Structure 1
Amino acid sequence: MKKTMTIRFEYHEVQASKRLEAFATEKLEGLFNKFSMIIRADVFFKLENTTSDETGKICSIRLSVPGPRLFAEVNQDDFMNSISETINNLDTQLTKKKGKMTNF
C-alpha cells in the first residue's frame, strides 16, 4: 500500500484559491517523493499590510514528521514565490533531519 500525505490549507485575510492549492500540492508532493517520512502538511496563506511592494504575501508550512515538527515561513510579493521559497527552506530542513536519522 502506498503511503500518502495529508495536506490542510488555511487562509487568513486571503480568498481561497484552487490555483494556489494545486501549486502548493505539486511542490509538497515533490518533497514527499523525496522524503516519505512526511505525514501531514499544514499550509497557511496570510496577507500582511506592508509599505514594500516586495512583501505582504506570506506562506507558512508546518510539516508533521517523526520527532519535532518542521516549520518554514516566507514573505514575498507573490504567493507562488512564497510557496516555492518555503518549500526550498523545508527541503533543506528535511535533508538535515534525514542525515541525522540512522534508520531511514
Structure 2
Amino acid sequence: MTVNIQYVDVDVSEALSTYTNGKLEKLSNKYEFLINAQVYFKKEENEHDKGKICNIELSLPGPRIFATSNEKNYEMAVKETINDIERQLKKRKQVFKPY
C-alpha cells in the first residue's frame, strides 16, 4: 500500500510520519485489498483544547473510505481515525464476495 502524508499549515514531523506509517502498515497487513492512503494533518486555530485534525482517505476496490478526527494531539487523532477506518473496513470486508 502506498502512503502519502501531507502537512497543511503544520511543520513536518518524521516521528508522526513514522507513527502513522506503522499504524497503516498494520491495516495493510490485515486487509490486503488496500491500494493507497492519503493522510492530511491540519491545525484548527479556533479550538482551544483540541484542534489537531487528522484526515485519512483509503483507496480500495469500490467506494473510497474516509475518516477524520479532531483531538488534542496528532497521535490521538491518528489513533481515533484509524479506529474509525477499521470499523468501516470490517463492514466492507463482510460485503466482499470471492469470485
Superposition TM-score, scaled by structure 1 size: 0.92
Q: After TM superposition, what 4+ stretches of structure 1 lie above 4 angstroms from structure 2?
A: none
Unaligned stretches of 5+ in structure 2?
Answer: none
Match runs of 1:74-85 below 5 Å: 74-85=69-80
Aligned partner of 2:31 in structure 1 is: 35
- TM-superposition CA deviations, 1:3-28 (whole Å, max 9, x none): xx100011111001111100000000
How far is 1:52 from its partner?
Answer: 2.8
Unaligned stretches of 5+ in structure 1?
Answer: none
**2:48 aligned counterpart, secondary structure:** coil
- TM-superposition CA deviations, 1:55-80 (whole Å, max 9, x none): 10000000000010000000000000
Superposition TM-score, scaled by structure 2 size: 0.96
Larger deviation, residues 42-51 vs 73-82: 42-51
Using the alignment, how far apart are the partners of 2:83 and 2:91 within structure 1?
13
* % identical aligned pairs: 41
Q: Pairwise CA RMSD of aligned residues? A: 1.1
Structure 1 residue identity aligned to 2:62: G
Aligned partner of 1:8 in structure 2 is: 4
Using the alignment, how far apart are the partners of 1:51 and 1:85 within structure 2?
18
How far is 1:49 from its partner?
Answer: 1.0
1:18 aligns with 2:14: yes
**2:57 aligned counterpart, secondary structure:** strand
Aligned partner of 1:45 in structure 2 is: 41
Using the alignment, how far apart are the partners of 2:84 and 2:4 within structure 1?
19
Match runs of 1:61-100 below 5 Å: 61-100=56-95
